[in-house]
Amino acid sequence: MVILSLLGITFFIAVGYFAYNFSQCIGTFSRLNKFIHTKVFGVLGVLIYLYLVYVNQDALVYALKQPLENF
């Protein structure tokens, strides 16, 4: 169970970092970075990611437990 927790936390942080960088890229490519700093886009992306994880929490826990139940 500890390994599963570490795997879940690592995945959570990695996808959060991707959401931060991808949101900054969206802000830069849309040229909105002339009005709003790119880090603001990154923070907005992470907040949206956290919201989506919170809303879909049951499905995520079920998906993480699925490989253990098939043993």
CB 54 within 8 A of CB 28: no
In this prediction, residue 5 carries a pLDDT of 81
> What is the domain range of residue 32?
2-69
**pLDDT over 90, % of the chain:** 48
HEC profile for 29-66? HCCHHHCCCHHHHHHHHHHHHHHHHHHCHHHHHHHHHH
Taking only the tens place, the pLDDT of each residue in 21-38 is 999 999 999 998 898 898
Distances (CA, A) of 68 to 10, 20, 43, 46, 55: 18, 31, 34, 29, 23
Mind listing the pLDDT tens digit for each residue in 51-64?
Answer: 999 999 899 888 87
Give percent of the chain with pLDDT exceeding 70: 97
Q: Are 7 and 71 in contact (CB under 8 A)?
A: no
Domains contained in the chain, number: 1
Which pLDDT belongs to residue 71? Answer: 67
